[in-house]
Structure 1
Amino acid sequence: MSEPRLWRYLAENASGGVERGDILAGSSSHATQLLAARGVVAVEVREVGLSGNPARSGRLPSAHIADFTEDLAELLGAAVSIHDALASLAEGETRRRLREFILRLEARVRGGHSLSESLKSDPANPPRILIAMTAAGEESGQLAASLNDLAVRLRAEQTLKRDLAGQLAYPAVLVCLIYLTLVFLAFIVLPQFEIVFADSAVEPPAETRFVIAVGAFLRSYAVWIPVGLVGLAWLSRAAMARFPLVATRIRRTVPIIGPAMWKLDAAAFARTLGVLVKAGLPVNRAEQVARGAVGDAGMRDGMSRAADRVRGGTALSRALDEQNILPRDLIRQIRLGEETGALDTFLLRTADRYERMARSRLTRALELLGPVLIVILGACVAGVIAAVMSGVLSLNDAVF
């Protein structure tokens, strides 16, 4: 079958009413057949654009995936068939990329493919955990429950990201304000005093010369400083990807932030692994997917080595303990879960605790950062004023 394309149709339904909408199909005749399977007669079918192009589709935002998973779980839980659930979601969806994603899935499911196969082959490249949870739900016959568990996990992740982003907004605004204040002083205030000092034969004090030099530097490079910072951030990210183990050690040495991010990565691994194990996936398969939820490249590298040991017959807790990449408490919880047969319960409970701890630490750090930045802003302004006044007083001393 040719690559699915998007078709807009005008049709007559069973009650004689007019129905309009979009459908994904390989051709106009295929679209007509799909409409007939729904019980409507196509009057007009015309192509409105390609949807199967990977370059056009791209990866869907995480919020879109969370909405799709939650809505699909709700419909499947109400005993709606999978293709009817997808059709219903596509009909009510207003976001173009998500709608086309759902239409592609519907076309493949109606063509005889399973939902997990359709997700795996979709050009939008949905998260591996969604594919794995769907496959596990199909194997166990509990697809609605599996997707509901995943939806809870995705919502928790979205809430955490939104909270952290909101808390970072205030310090970010203060940093920009500090920079703009320094630029204003450098371009507007200091040049007036530089003229005064240039016309006098008096050597200004050292602090005044320093402030004037800083002002001259900002006037010359103010535009390039943000560019340089972005470039430095890019180089740092590339270096962290190139040397993950070194980056991991450096990150953990950062006060407050380092341990909190380590906890968040451990929580992401524990929650993803717990959700997958609860859905019925074997530990070795679940671990491969859960590893992808970890942002720390050094931690992922250690987990990969641990996975090789697990395939050789070593228990997961022991293999992870040998790598020294996760908190000791999490290793202990995994060991208890393996011994009691309740691995998913221990993992999910530990993930909840780690997220609370990390959120609390980051919140305290960001709350402290605001006043510190305000003090820095005040110190910068006061320092410039004091330096300028010191220079003016030196002129008065020279005159009198």
Structure 2
Amino acid sequence: ARGGEASGRQSEVLAAGARSLAAADQLKKRLVTLCLYPAFVILVAFGSIAIYAYAVLPSLEPAFAGMGGDIPPQTQAVLTFGAVVRFLMPILAAATAALTIGVALIAPLRRAAGDLVARLLMRGKRSPLRDFVFANLASRLAVMLQAGVPLAPAWRLAREPVTITSLSRALAAQDERLMEGVRLSEVLRRVPACPPDLIHYVLMGEHSGQVAAALNDGSALLGARAQEAIERVLSVLTPLVIIVVGAMVGLITMMVFQGLLAVGDAVAL
């Protein structure tokens, strides 16, 4: 809306902004949908481990109580693992609940936690979060430029919705350089986390005189790449979690049965 007021083309800016917001919202919903199943599998994995630690192993410990040092080492390791889980799980649950409540109620803590998580996820040459953030930035900037808003105020309006503190500061530090007439590609080079592909698109747009169109193309590329990267990671993560959980449960069961067989042999003797 501020971009439309600055350019005097309110209806055009709002129409373009609506399309941009709809595309960003669709991508966000798609990513959330992709994350639901792996999150469910991970919760089931923790639930399976908790059932073994709190229900299965304690009921078997009396059977091994009279064997002393005759318990097979692997069975003793499983019993020790169950005791450690029973000791640590309430502590971790209480710490997680306290942290969740603190993040939900305390705004500075919520911002600090969000910024820390975002900085960790934005590391690497092909970070999906980085591509997603810059795709939205490029889309907003393209909307402003297409509406005739000058580059410097369009940059300020496009960067304001960025909520990652470290990135927001890096973007704000370039305001004066744009006011001095520095090219957009040079400004983006000074932003540490900016994807090289976006810089390349902007550079081509500057040479051809179609920066807004280049920003739209770069935004589409980054958004599609972020979705593809997350789909690829989740497609590997989900079966990997299932295999690890199945192997862990099977290994624990095998070790427990070995201990029970040892008890049976001791009784027979």
Question: What interval of TM-score do these two structures reach, taking the shorter chain for normalisation?
Answer: 0.7 to 0.9
- Please name the residue that 1:292 is paired with: 160
Residue type at the aligned position of 2:2: A
- Please name the residue that 1:358 is paired with: 226
* Structure 2 Cα separation of the partners of residues 252 and 199 of structure 1: 54
* Structure 2 Cα separation of the partners of residues 230 and 259 of structure 1: 29
Aligned pair 1:164/2:38, yes or no?
A: no
1:173 aligned residue (36, 40, 62): 40
Residue type at the aligned position of 1:135: E
The 5 Å alignment of 1:20-99 reads: none
* Structure 2 Cα separation of the partners of residues 154 and 160 of structure 1: 10
Asked whether the 8 Å contact 2:140–2:158 carries over to 1, the reply is yes
Q: Deviations over 1:225-256 (max 9, x none)?
A: 23434666857972674x79xx74x434469x
Residue type at the aligned position of 1:132: R
Q: Deviations over 1:73-102 (max 9, x none)?
A: xxxxxxxxxxxxxxxxxxxxxxxxxxxxxx
* Structure 2 Cα separation of the partners of residues 253 and 149 of structure 1: 31
Larger Rg: 1
- Please name the residue that 1:155 is paired with: 22
Residue type at the aligned position of 1:181: S
Higher helix share: 2
* Structure 1 Cα separation of the partners of residues 39 and 240 of structure 2: 13
* Structure 1 Cα separation of the partners of residues 5 and 73 of structure 2: 71
Asked whether the 8 Å contact 1:202–1:395 carries over to 2, the reply is no
Aligned-residue offset at 1:224: 3.8
Moved over 6 A (4+): none
- Please name the residue that 2:255 is paired with: 387
Q: Could you say which structure has the greater relative contact order, defined with CA pairs below 8 angstroms and 6 or more residues apart?
A: 2
Aligned pair 1:132/2:6, yes or no?
A: no
Aligned-residue offset at 1:323: 3.5
What TM-score comes out, normalization by structure 1 length? 0.59
Percent identity, aligned pairs only?
Answer: 26
Asked whether the 8 Å contact 2:3–2:157 carries over to 1, the reply is no
- Please name the residue that 1:209 is paired with: 76
Q: Deviations over 1:110-160 (max 9, x none)?
A: xxxxxxxxxxxxxxxxxxxxx324424xx43x3222211111111111111
Aligned-residue offset at 1:352: 0.7
* Structure 2 Cα separation of the partners of residues 205 and 292 of structure 1: 63
- Please name the residue that 1:340 is paired with: 208
Asked whether the 8 Å contact 1:271–1:347 carries over to 2, the reply is yes
- Please name the residue that 2:112 is paired with: 238
Structure 2: which 5+ residue stretches go unaligned? Answer: 104-108
Q: Deviations over 1:204-240 (max 9, x none)?
A: 2332222212322333443442343466685797267
Query: Structure 1 pair 237/390, CA: closer, same or farther in 2 (3 Å)?
Result: farther
Asked whether the 8 Å contact 1:265–1:295 carries over to 2, the reply is no
- Please name the residue that 2:143 is paired with: 275
Aligned pair 1:320/2:185, yes or no?
A: no
What count of residue pairs does the alignment treat as equivalent? 261
Higher strand share: 1
Superposition CA RMSD, Å = 2.7
Structure 1: which 5+ residue stretches go unaligned? Answer: 1-130
What secondary structure does 1:280 align onto? coil
Q: Deviations over 1:167-195 (max 9, x none)?
A: 11101111111111111112221112101
Aligned-residue offset at 1:381: 1.0
* Structure 2 Cα separation of the partners of residues 324 and 367 of structure 1: 30
